[in-house]
Structure 1
Amino acid sequence: MFRLTTKISDCLAILFMTLFLLAPVAANHAAAAEAPGRIAFLPFKSNGPKDMTYLTNGIRDMLGSRLASEVGLTIIDRATVDQTLPSPAQLKNVDDYRQAGKQLQADYLVIGSLTAFGSSLSIDSKVFNVAQGSLQSFYATAKNEDEIILAIDKLAWDISEKVFSHPRPATALVQPATAPTQNSQATNPYMSAHPDRTLAGRNGFYGASPFITPKGATSGFTKSQNMRMSLQYIEKADLNGDGVDEIIMADRKSVQIFSRDGNRFAKVGQVTVANRLRIHAVSIGDLNGNHKPEVYVSAADYNAPNSFAFEWIEKDQVNYLVEDAPFYLRTMDIPGEGKVLLGQRADIDYPVSPGIYRLALAGNNLAQESRFEMPAKVNLFDFAVADLDGDKINEIIAIDQYDRLQVMHAAGSILWKSDDYYGGSTRFIGGRDGLGLAAELDADKDLNRVYIPSRIIVRDLNHDGLPDILINKNLSSASRVFKNMKSYPAGEIHALTWNGIALAELWRTQKIDGYIVDYLLSPNPDNTKAELLVGIILPGSSLSFLEEQNCTVLMYQLNLAKAENTEPTN
């Protein structure tokens, strides 16, 4: 249940008293030097099951007091701000913010929101520079009542450093969960300079987890730093044989390789493609049996596939096994066969040709072998294979172009089809980028695109000895109404189990703000615990195919042994 504890109220009361006693000192300190400007804190939006006005007002006051005392800003009175701008939601663009700044005679505006994420709080804020017309984003979390003041303090220091170039003292530094080695930044030319803050675990403040879930399925999640890339796919493998998996992330034009230290990713290599090509999928295999993982990159121009495979050596050095392959490529695990390489060709006038084939390495080329038994309407990236009911006969789990999930026999007869939409993706083959909004809104216009559905993961998720399904559900009304318009502001990850007649929900995550691009599940050897990596395009990123987007990776720690099949709650 959503309620403020006495402990939180006491903490806030003590803080307000401290700020009151220190106010004269802060005022004298600010007067001693030329103030860097005036700042207005607009009303914070609250997202939660109950009114959080008390907290949002407290956060505004606390942030203001800290910036006044440390930076020397003049804080515009909250009552003046509320009377002048009663509804920040009316501010839609840069001109609106500039006009608001003029009305308040402010040099900076701070807008924000407070969200109850199950058991924790998320504080999001943006600082608008009125003169420059620029906007910077900041973020902090508190996983329980003991950390709310620390989170506010951290947010204030982040703003102080990045907006006003006022460094925090050493005593105010917050160490990351897993710190990099002392000289890794200096010696690694690919290191990200400033990883974002860690998201807190979800097991303390307001009483639930980040999952609508059976008991104990997760202890929380963290996130990587934000990265400037139009993420298309994620994989992981020990590419250099050091016993530690690298993270492989592909955007439209490159495959980027990262080492990982906790929640911190450091770029250590990159492979780019020709400008005319787009990457739409990446998969891992060891088809030549040399115990060194191969990266299979499925890429295409607007007419046909042009894929390749490589073994990574270091930095930008790779050993190409295959280049200019006329197949879309995908490795996958087939029950009874193990890891296989599958491929599909393009047709003369359509992005895909019927027929999925097993492929084998033959020198520097790929040899087409036997046809993989699959209904003709199912394309290479649409499906997974699993024996859902344990009868030694494999079922096909597939997503169609309308985002409906299906279970079928290999011959094509449908056992079940979902009423809900699953998957949802902006990746496609064929067609063209950048045709404009008018073309996307024209439902009758054939853009000759075939969309690449989201990954379907097969794994025993409830510890009953039978395979289950992990899949995303990107949420969008417009993308269901307009077949050519694909835009997903939020999504969820769903765990499903076969009950004999349908795929039924085991659990799902709470709504994740942002477009879920791809996800990986890495269980431990006895399948009792697993890490779920979820790659997302962050909210507010450009929808244009011509512009880079911002992405991040969420990291959930799952306890599969405790995942009981319970009805979800809303």
Structure 2
Amino acid sequence: MFQRRLTVILTATLALMLMAGTAMAQGAKKYAVTPFEYNGPKKFSYFPKAFQASLNSDLEWPGHAESAPDSLVEELKAPTSQGEAINTMRASGLDYIVTGTIAILDKEATLSMKAYGVDGSSWTQKGQMGIDEITPWLDEQSKAIMGEVFHRPGYSTTDQEVKAEKTKDIVQTGPTNPQFIQAEEREFSAASLNPQFRYEGGTGSVGRWRSQTLRFNSSNMVVGDVNGDGKNEVVLLTNVGISVYVFENGKLKHLDNLEVAPKTQFLRAELMDLDGDNIPEIIVGSIQTYSRKKLLAPEITVKSHILSFKKGKLEYLLKNYRKFLGVLRTPPTYSPVLVVQDKGEPQVFTNKINEAIFKNGDITKGPAIPRPEYANIYNMTYLPDGFGYKVIVLDDYHRIKVYDQTLEKLSSSDVDRYNSSGIGVEYSERLAGMGPGMGDGKIATYNVPFRMITAPLSKKNQYELLVNKDLSIAAQVFERFTYFSQGEIHSLAWDGVGMNLAWKTRRIKGQVSDVALADINNDGKDQLVVLLNTFPGGMGFTNRKTVVLAYDLNM
């Protein structure tokens, strides 16, 4: 009897839930956001679609207002009057239409937004602002539409003003791992942390994993599923070749090693799916150096490679390509793009970067990529910033320089240096056409930085720049000293004026040589992964060994 009653109750409850869900779905009103009419430079022509996608997401009110299907929106024409908007909504079964215009002149944007209701209601807002201020302006207007047009409680202009008086902005915090220290006296601060008491890592290892010591030194690291087995592998570029490992039973298990030619100097390793099978290939940029006379810089030959590990063995798909290969994540999608750059003369790099396509075992150059002065494929990255972006470059002294989309410099770090890898490429500063002579006059060294990473770690849609701050007294004394005995991973955020500290790791003892954001232990969560070379001191420089660290981002 009891089971029968329980069955009846459960059946009735399920029926009520289904009826409620159906009623909610039927009661939700439909809105459509049409692409904004655009007038401005071609480089910002992706704004209309970006605005449309952003507003479609921001205006959703579960159970009350939902976006119309893409197939319907694609057939709509942006209305030019309220009457035309009402006719369009009646014909298509919509309840609301949102449209707008955007014009960009130099660095100023002029926006206009309109929202129409099928009941005859309307809402209009205009604004003029810098390109960097578009995102907060759109966020503000989407809330206004929710309140004034959709009549969502707490979203009207009046409600927002009252709410602002009663509450403060939510504090933005970084990852909660105790191995990380939050910045103070800014929006990223965490009052519970006292840097005076919690500075060094100590003997504890909560939230941090450390690999076994590997008896070689390494210059590059990438983490990804390079054989398609569903687990991420760790690829290291070392002084003994290219090695592949996998996390197993708390340690790194060796899978394969590929020896390379003598005097090979690795510059960068990248992962990218080049053939569309969802398994990334390994892209390696390297040089081979040949000593000459004492007063001459070494002769440099560029040798880039593309490798596969799909069969469990490292195999060359492209070997000894005579140009620098790398990967940039370019706007507006920030998907990885294969890039190529020629060797320069006398400098290491030429001043031109091109997209590249790998097909049938060969490289084909594509369109040129605009770049700031002195930028190359290994020292620049793009920092998403709302609907725009910043170009970040590490200069020859490893200072951070920030450029806007027009490549105008916005800021530069002062004395702090970042991402020194210990990879130095010597070259002659003798100008072309000055003749061979008996010597090069001056032999300079370009220190190739390791990768910078951008990711939204502290707040959704706000990207941060992950870099390593170089810490070494000796590095401040000797110009060509490139090995640092300590470091700290810093997360920097653009605040409109410069790059400010959001959070940092505790001090790391050793030469930080690379970083990654990846799931190294295959637990479904990304970690901050750090490649470290132990530093035995000046007398034991040739005895450096490799250690990999992994920090949980949140605990």
TM-score after normalising by structure 1: 0.55
Q: Does 1:241 align with 2:215?
A: no
Secondary structure at the residue paired with 2:553? Answer: strand
d(CA) in 2 for partners of 1:250 and 1:480? Answer: 28
Instruction: Find the aligned partners of 1:344 and 1:555 in 2 and give their Cα distance.
Output: 32
1:329 shift after superposition: 1.5
Shift of 1:252: 3.7
The yes-or-no answer on 1:504 pairing with 2:473 is no
| 2:425 is equivalent to residue 429 of structure 1 | yes
Deviation at 1:253, TM superposition (A): 4.5
1:548: Cα distance to partner?
A: 4.8
More strand by share: 2
What are the equivalent positions in structure 2 for 1:267-282 lying under 5 Å apart?
A: 267-282=254-269
Separation of aligned partners in 2, 1:241 and 1:483: 44
2:354 aligned partner: 357
Amino acid at match of 1:266: K
Secondary structure of 1:521's match?
strand
Structure 1 residue corresponding to 2:396, chosen from 393, 401, 412: 401
1:210 to 134, 154, 179: 179
Counterpart-to-counterpart distance in 2, 1:234 and 1:262: 20
Instruction: Name the structure 2 match of 1:308.
Output: 305
| The one of 390, 410, 416 aligned to 2:411 | 416
Query: Partners in 2 of 1:483 and 1:461 — Cα distance?
Result: 34
Cα deviation code 1:226-283 (max 9, x no counterpart): 0111110110111221100111111145110001125300110112221142212100
Match of 2:275 among 266, 288, 301: 288
C-alpha distance in structure 2 between counterparts of 1:342 and 1:484, whole Å: 29
Alignment of 1:75-94 (within 5 A): none
Query: What amino acid sits opposite 2:251 in the alignment?
Result: R
CA distance in 2, matches of 1:219, 1:558: 12
1:15-34 to 2 correspondences below 5 Å: none
CA deviation profile, 1:468-501 (whole Å, cap 9, x unmatched)? 1111012123223322122211010001111111
Partners of 1:369 and 1:212 in 2: how far apart?
A: 43
CA contact (8 A) 2:518 2:528 kept: yes
Match of 1:347 among 344, 347, 354: 344
Paired residues of 1:304 and 1:430 also in contact (CA < 8 A): no
The alpha carbon displacement at 1:541 in A equals: 6.0
Counterpart AA for 2:232: D
Counterpart residue type for residue 249 of structure 1: L
Q: Which amino acid aligns with 2:309?
A: W
CA distance in 1, matches of 2:276, 2:311: 20
- Return the letter of the residue paired with 1:473: K
1:531 equivalent to 2:523? Answer no
* CA shift in 2, pair 1:499/1:244, >3 Å: same
The 1:411–1:523 alpha-carbon spacing in structure 2 relative to 1, beyond 3 Å, is farther
Alpha-carbon deviation of 1:210?
Answer: 2.7
Contact 2:328 2:377 in 1 (8 A): no
> Hey, what's the Cα distance between the residues in 2 that align with 1:263 and 1:223?
9
Q: What is the identity, as a one-letter code, of the residue corresponding to 2:372? A: P
The AA in structure 2 aligned to 1:360 is I
1:98-137 aligned within 5 A: none
From 302, 310, 314, the equivalent of 1:318 is 314
Alpha-carbon spacing, 1:480–1:335, altered in 2? closer, same or farther (3 Å): same
Q: Which runs of 5+ in 1 are unaligned?
A: 1-202, 433-443, 563-570
Q: 1:349 to 1:501 in 2, by over 3 A?
A: closer
Which residue matches 1:366? 363
Structure 2 CA distance for aligned equivalents of residues 516 and 543 of structure 1: 19
Find the aligned partners of 2:392 and 2:245 in 1 and give their Cα distance.
31
Q: How far has the Cα of 1:386 moved from its partner? A: 2.0
Q: What amino acid is aligned across from residue 471 of structure 2 in structure 1? A: L
* Total equivalences in the alignment: 336
CA distance in 2, matches of 1:467, 1:299: 30
8 Å Cα contact 2:306/2:319 also seen in 1: yes
Listed as ranges, the matches of 1:1-12 within 5 Å are: none
Sort the Cα spacing of 1:496 and 1:269 in 2 relative to 1 into closer, same or farther, 3 A: same
8 Å contact from structure 1 (residues 223, 552) kept in 2:
yes
Q: What amino acid is aligned across from residue 469 of structure 2 in structure 1?
A: K
- Give the whole-Å Cα distance in 2 for the aligned partners of 1:362 and 1:548: 41
Contact 2:341 2:354 (8 Å CA) reproduced? yes
Query: Where does residue 134 of structure 1 map in the other structure?
Result: none
Distance 2:233 2:441 in 1: 42
Residue identity in the other structure for 2:349: V
Q: How does 1:96-175 map to 2 (within 5 A)?
A: none
- Out of 205, 215, 224, the residue aligned to residue 228 of structure 1 is 215
- Sort the Cα spacing of 1:511 and 1:446 in 2 relative to 1 into closer, same or farther, 3 A: farther
Contact 1:235 1:282 (C-alpha < 8 Å) held by counterparts: yes
Partner amino acid for 2:180? F
> Stretches of 4+ moved more than 4 A in 1?
214-219, 541-545
* In structure 2, C-alpha distance between the alignment counterparts of 1:252 and 1:281, rounded to whole Å: 13
Q: Which runs of 5+ in 2 are unaligned?
A: 1-175, 183-188, 194-204, 290-299, 429-439
Whether 1:266 aligns to 2:253 is yes
Note the C-alpha offset of 1:542: 6.3
Q: Could you tell me which residue of structure 1 aligns to residue 514 of structure 2? A: 518
Cα distance in 2 for residues equivalent to 1:541 and 1:233:
21
RMSD: 2.8
Structure 1 residues 439-478: Cα deviation after superposition (integer angstroms, max 9, x where no partner): xxxxx98433321113211000212321111110121232
- Please give the residue correspondences for 1:529-568 in structure 2 after superposition, counting only pairs within 5 Å: 530-540=526-536, 547-559=542-554
- Higher Cα Rg: structure 1 or 2? 2
C-alpha distance in 2 between matches for 1:346 and 1:544: 33
Q: Identify which of 450, 475, 480 aligns with 1:479.
A: 475
Counterparts of 2:501 and 2:376 in 1: how far apart (Å)? 25
| AA in 1 matched with 2:181 | I
What per-residue deviation string (whole Å, max 9, x for no partner) do you get for residues 500-551 of structure 1?
A: 1111111111111111111111279xxx963111111113166788x35211
Question: Aligned equivalents of 2:284 and 2:453: distance in 1?
Answer: 19
Distance 2:367 2:509 in 1: 43
* AA matched with 1:557: D
Residue type of the alignment partner of 1:427: I
Q: Equivalents in 1 of 2:537, 2:326: separation in Å?
A: 28
CA drift at 1:431: 4.6
Does the residue aligned with 1:425 lie in a helix, a strand or coil?
Answer: strand
- Look up the equivalent residue of 1:385 and give its one-letter code: Y
| Contact persistence 2:424–2:482 (CA under 8 A) | no
Query: In the TM superposition, what is the alpha-carbon distance from 1:371 to its structure 2 partner?
Result: 0.9
Equivalent residue runs for 1:376-391 within 5 Å: 376-388=373-385, 390=386
